[in-house]
Amino acid sequence: MPKFVIEREIPGAGQLSAEDLKAISQKSRDVLNELGPEIQWVESFITDNKIYCVYVAPNEEMVREHAQKGGFPANSVSVVRRMIDPTTAE
Distance CA 58, CA 39 (A): 7
Supply the DSSP symbol for 79: E
Domains, the chain, with CATH or none: 3-89 (3.30.70.3090)
- For the segment 52-65, what is each residue's pLDDT rounded down to a tens digit? 999 999 999 999 99
- pTM listed for this prediction: 0.93
Q: Do 9 and 75 touch, CB atoms closer than 8 A?
A: yes
Work out the mean pLDDT of the chain and round it to a whole number. 97
Q: Do 5 and 78 touch, CB atoms closer than 8 A?
A: yes
